[in-house]
Amino acid sequence: MTETVLRSSAEKRRFNFDMRALSPFIALIVLVIAGALINPDFLTASNLLNVVTRSAFIAIIAVGATFVIAGGGLDLSVGSMAALVAGIMILTLNGLGNPGYGTLALGMLAAVGLGAACGLANGLIVTFGRIEPFIVTLGTMGIFRSLVIWLAAGGTITLRNSELRELYRPVYFGDVAGVPVPILAFLAVAAVGALILYKTSFGRHVIAIGSNEDVARYSGVPIWRVRTLTYIIQGICVGIAILVYVPRLGSATPTTGLLWELQAITAVVIGGTALRGGLGRVWGTVVGAIILELVANIMVLSNFVSEFLVGAVQGAIIIIAMLVQRSLQRGR
Amino acid sequence: MRGTALKLAAAAGLFAGLTTGALAQQKNVTIGVSIPAATHGWTGGVVYHAQETAKQLEKTYPGLKVVVKTSPDGASQANALDDLTAQKIDALVVLPFNSDELTNPVNEVKKRGTFITVVDRGLKDPSIQDIYVAGNNPEFGRVAGKYFKDNLKQGNVVVFRGIPTVIDEERVTNFEKALEGSGVKVIDKQYANWNRDDAFRVMQDFLAKHPKIDAVWASDDDMALGIMEAIRQGKREDIKFVLGGAGMKDMVKRVMDGDKMIPADVSYPPAMISTAMFVTAGQFFANAPMRGTYVINAELITKDNAKNFYYPDSPF
């Protein structure tokens, strides 16, 4: 994980950075202990598996967001994009009709393809249009959201064929050797993401444009191509997340994916990626997503937090977790 | 001034209608309908029913024109009201986004002598409206509570709340009030934002936390669908039924088909916009007093009456 930083660091500094990379994991362990103290049911295998499985969507999307943010960009459209991709995927499956693996494969292809296309659109407008990514993706956020509302006529897009539904259901609810499929999916996505970010020249280019775009340009990094690609990766990740999302409830509504963009960005930052770019931590991001879901779970399991105050306590826990991380880094 | 002239004209029209039916056709009335755009299931239903009713009314009353405008937020709804007044409407049927923002804009329309019908969410100044058609949120909670009292008699219930709003508060307080003195106990409450995904999450956590749950008050059909999926995954046999609310077509269908887990539903019909439009049209075309407040009952939908609540063509 130290590959992302300059090699000029001394032995002490190296240790420093290891601490920084480790801190999300330490926060995770602290939270698990806190959860166990609050409610013994927290540590049951079924509860923990539920929580980690649920974090899969945000984790997968956040892996993509790690690329965008590490490259100095931002994508606010992922939640709306997720809703649109889910809607189109279900409509495709409904349109094809006959239940079978071929139909499912086509639907999945449509989902990932559309995700990539949405990402390409974001990327091209940011790079060729020379517009702030915040504005571009705020715009596409509205566009994607309205499109799904329009497609659903304000109602729900539901997977109509129940046979197809049952065929697809194991992708969320099934498991391989006891490990739920969504967990395997986000581990695979994170592994590939880590490989690309840490071991390829493309990954180094992403970090380079994130830390200093001008220097990267003078060093011959193809800025536009690299930046556009980060948005395409983000889009593909949204597509993959939806492959796991649709089998759960078999429907998309206008409220699908609401505020997912904020959760994804929070997961990325909790994971240790710098919001200003130039530093990316894929595994930290995955842990960040799990932490977010764990906090929500602990809130429901606790008996002493009134339902009116859940949001406040959740916010406080996230801030405290970040403070603990920072102090760990400074203390060394 | 215009108002009086209009009323006189309307009265004249009525007399004409009474004496010779043929003359009634010459009366021209325009009703403007301003509603929120379809941003979630329920408002989607409102838009559908408003458009269907507009067609139906125009067919029933020749000379009547109905203009339906949808707006994505409060500020745009205020603009939409300006556009509607520019089209010289005789009556306005409005489901306001929120009371604070729209009280003044609707009052402006009123000052031009327009007949005002307010639906569901009341304005801050009730003297503006000529007709008020309202859903009954306290009743919604009461009907649900009574169902638990009568059918569960005793046991543990978990409650799903929507988004922290007055509507939600009224529903939940009255639900709990209705349970008083019965053996039914609310063991946990949590917000799930009228959202399927959130309800799925919270239900998974409730299942982990409580070893025995006898029934669930989902309080909303969207949330009920998420809850059902979580129960199915948890393979829990202790939960006897889930009671939703609103009257989404998929859920009404399940009640109709006799689904054991969904034995009933409580209505909060988006079609109340149709009630408002019909009563408003009646103001101009029927020889009957129309001004007043109409409270639409929250009704218990069971297998026997479900077909009266089933709109297969509605998106909701």
Give the pLDDT confidence of A116-169 residue by residue, as tens digits.
999 999 999 999 999 999 999 999 999 999 999 888 877 788 888 888 988 999
The per-residue pLDDT for range B177-216, each reduced to its tens digit, is 999 989 999 999 999 988 889 999 999 999 999 999 999 9
- Nearest chain A residue to B36, by CA: A154
- The matching CATH number, chosen from 2.60.120.10, 3.40.50.2300, 3.40.50.1820, 3.20.20.10, for B137-266 is 3.40.50.2300
* Chain Cα centroid distance, residue A71: 16
- For the purposes of burial, counting CB atoms within 10 Å of the CB of A63, is it exposed (0-12), middle (13-18) or buried (19 or more)? buried
* Chain Cα centroid distance, residue A322: 19
- Nearest chain B residue to A54, by CA: B201
In A40-59, the residues whose Cβ lies within 8 Å of chain B are: 41-42, 44, 46-47, 50, 54
Task: Name the pTM for this structure.
Answer: 0.79
> Which chain A positions have a beta carbon within 8 Å of B233's beta carbon?
173
Select from A39, A158, A251 the Cβ nearest to the Cβ of B209.
Answer: A39
User: In this structure, what DSSP letter does residue B123 have?
Assistant: P
Question: What is the dotted CATH code of the domain comprising A9-331?
Answer: 1.10.3470
Please indicate whether, in this complex, the C-beta atoms of B196 and A251 are within 8 angstroms of each other.
yes
Select from B40, B164, B209 the Cβ nearest to the Cβ of A301.
Answer: B209
In B136-195, the residues whose Cβ lies within 8 Å of chain A are: 161, 164, 189-191, 193-195
Rounded Cα–Cα distance for residues A60 and A189 (Å): 7
Q: Measured between CB atoms, does B95 come within 8 Å of chain A?
A: no
Smallest Cα distance from B40 to chain A, Å = 5
A103: its two tokens: 């139909």
Please indicate whether, in this complex, the C-beta atoms of B47 and A154 are within 8 angstroms of each other.
yes
Q: Which residues of A188-205 are buried (b: 16+ CB within 10 A; e: fewer)?
A: ebbeebbebbbeeebbbb
Beta bridge partners of A158: A251
Dihedral sign, Cα of residue B196, residue B201, residue B206, residue B212:
positive
In a mutational test of the A interface, the residue from B158, B203, B209, B236 whose CB has the highest number of chain A CBs within 10 Å is B209
Q: Measured between CB atoms, does B206 come within 8 Å of chain A?
A: yes
Smallest Cα distance from B42 to chain A, Å = 8
In A155-174, the residues whose Cβ lies within 8 Å of chain B are: 155-156, 158, 173
DSSP string, B127-196: GG-SEEEEE-HHHHHHHHHHHHHHHT-EEEEEEEE-SSSHHHHHHHHHHHHHHTTSEEEEEEEEE-TT-H
In B52-91, the residues whose Cβ lies within 8 Å of chain A are: none
Please indicate whether, in this complex, the C-beta atoms of B44 and A255 are within 8 angstroms of each other.
no
Q: Is the Cβ–Cβ distance between A182 and A172 less than 8 Å? A: yes
- Nearest chain A residue to B165, by CA: A308
Please indicate whether, in this complex, the C-beta atoms of A156 and B201 are within 8 angstroms of each other.
no
- Nearest chain B residue to A38, by CA: B209
Q: Where are the domains of chain B?
A: 2-135+270-297, 137-266
Q: What is the pLDDT along chain A (332 residues), one digit of tens a residue?
A: 444 444 444 444 555 556 677 888 888 998 899 899 988 889 998 899 999 999 999 999 999 999 999 999 999 999 999 999 999 999 999 998 788 899 999 999 999 999 999 999 999 999 999 999 999 999 999 999 999 988 887 778 888 888 898 899 999 999 999 899 999 999 999 999 999 999 999 999 999 999 999 999 999 999 999 999 999 999 999 999 999 999 998 889 888 898 899 999 999 988 888 888 888 999 999 999 999 999 889 888 887 788 788 888 888 887 887 787 677 666 54
Amino acid at A128: F
Q: Is the Cβ–Cβ distance between B182 and B149 less than 8 Å? A: yes
Please indicate whether, in this complex, the C-beta atoms of B315 and A39 are within 8 angstroms of each other.
no
Select from B164, B194, B315 the Cβ nearest to the Cβ of A154.
Answer: B315
User: In this structure, what DSSP letter does residue B119 have?
Assistant: E
> Which chain B positions have a beta carbon within 8 Å of A174's beta carbon?
none
The top-level CATH class assigned to B2-135+270-297 is alpha beta
Q: Is the Cβ–Cβ distance between B110 and B127 less than 8 Å? A: no
Smallest Cα distance from A254 to chain B, Å = 6
Rounded Cα–Cα distance for residues B26 and B103 (Å): 34
The per-residue pLDDT for range B149-177, each reduced to its tens digit, is 999 989 999 999 988 877 888 899 999 99
